[in-house]
Amino acid sequence: MSKKEKNNIKVDVNELNLWYGENHALHGITVPLYENKITALIGPSGCGKSTFLRCLNRMNDLISIVKIDGSVVIDMKNVYDKDVDEVSVRKRVGMVFQQPNPFPKSIYDNVSYAPLKHGHVKKGKACDELVEKSLRDAGLWEEVKDKLNDPGTSLSGGQQQRLCIARTIAVKPEVILMDEPTSALDPISTEKIEALMLELKKKYTIITVTHNMQQAARVADYTAFFHLGKLIEYDETETIFVNPKQKKTEDYITGRFG
């Protein structure tokens, strides 16, 4: 069986259009996002990467002027169907932002807050175990196990980002969206997050935005190049970087614009 045939589509995006009022920001995006793979979204500032990412967990619903058509099908169900509630979508599709944004609470509470709130665990041993497991999976446990009651904000930027990843995986999502997750971090913290992404893709489907071409080449299985709200080219990462089919893609990855 070839490498391609083994891949399952986890998120199937079809003819997705988005408008901010009169501004047509996404034009007919069709792209399969594969399970247990990392897909990188690249392209110049303002091309619609964050907008696209937010469509996948219906975060754009929070913006009143937004109008969307097309479909985002996760496991056979369009998340924009009328009978789907967006809170359940956001639970299945978690998000990590550019600036680490821990809650003004303890490290423990940052991780346990959502699972307790949604009733996934009760306070006590099960919750303690979930917090430990999430922090371990986020590669942070050894650094924080003796200070779980310290504020999340007392950690370094790179640690805070791993705390945010622990918080995201504590609710057991299926898909993790990351919007420039390392752009506020130093090279060592960046390396840790990249290693973590490669570990996490064994369990989750990851879609990440990056302005760092080396990062896309290092971590992503697939890469999608956006320009002016259009998906110009999508392929295995190696093909995008070594043998792109579109001249625009080549110009962008070789630094000729953007």
Ligand X SMILES: Nc1ncnc2c1ncn2[C@@H]1O[C@H](COP(=O)(O)OP(=O)(O)OP(=O)(O)O)[C@@H](O)[C@H]1O
Judged by the rule CB under 6 A, the positions of this chain that interact with ligand X are 20, 23, 25, 43, 45-51, 63
Distance in angstroms (rounded) separating the CA atoms of residues 235 and 222: 6
Angle at which helices 107-117 and 125-137 cross, to 10°: 120
Cβ closer to ligand X: 26 or 170?
A: 26
3-state secondary structure 158-206: HHHHHHHHHHHHHCCCCEEEEECCCCCCCHHHHHHHHHHHHHHCCCCEE
The CB-side HSE value for 116 (13 A sphere, CA atoms) comes to 16
The interface partner of residue 48, options being ligand X, Mg ion, none and the CB cut-off 5 to 8 Å by kind, is ligand X
| DSSP at 24 | E
Cβ closer to ligand X: 2 or 64?
A: 64
Shortest Å distance, C-beta 90 to ligand X: 17
Shortest Å distance, C-beta 37 to Mg ion: 21
**Backbone dihedral angles phi then psi of residue 78, each to the nearest 5 degrees:** -75, 120
For the chain, the 3-state helix, strand and coil shares in percent, each to the nearest 5, are: 40, 25, 35
The interface partner of residue 47, options being Mg ion, ligand X, none and the CB cut-off 5 to 8 Å by kind, is ligand X
Shortest Å distance, C-beta 140 to ligand X: 26
Residue 210's nearest CA partner among 188, 232, 226 is 226
Cβ closer to ligand X: 138 or 253?
A: 253
Distance in angstroms (rounded) separating the CA atoms of residues 230 and 140: 37
Cβ closer to ligand X: 54 or 108?
A: 54
The interface partner of residue 25, options being ligand X, Mg ion, none and the CB cut-off 5 to 8 Å by kind, is ligand X
Distance in angstroms (rounded) separating the CA atoms of residues 53 and 66: 14
| DSSP at 60 | G
Shortest Å distance, C-beta 230 to ligand X: 12
The interface partner of residue 63, options being Mg ion, ligand X, none and the CB cut-off 5 to 8 Å by kind, is ligand X
Binding site for Mg ion (CB under 5 A): 50
The interface partner of residue 182, options being ligand X, Mg ion, none and the CB cut-off 5 to 8 Å by kind, is none
Handedness of CA 25, 29, 66, 96 (dihedral sign): negative
Which residue is it, tokens 């986890």?
10
Residue nearest to Mg ion (CB): 50
Shortest Å distance, C-beta 222 to ligand X: 18
The interface partner of residue 51, options being Mg ion, ligand X, none and the CB cut-off 5 to 8 Å by kind, is ligand X
Cβ closer to ligand X: 18 or 193?
A: 18
Shortest Å distance, C-beta 132 to Mg ion: 33
Cβ closer to ligand X: 63 or 195?
A: 63
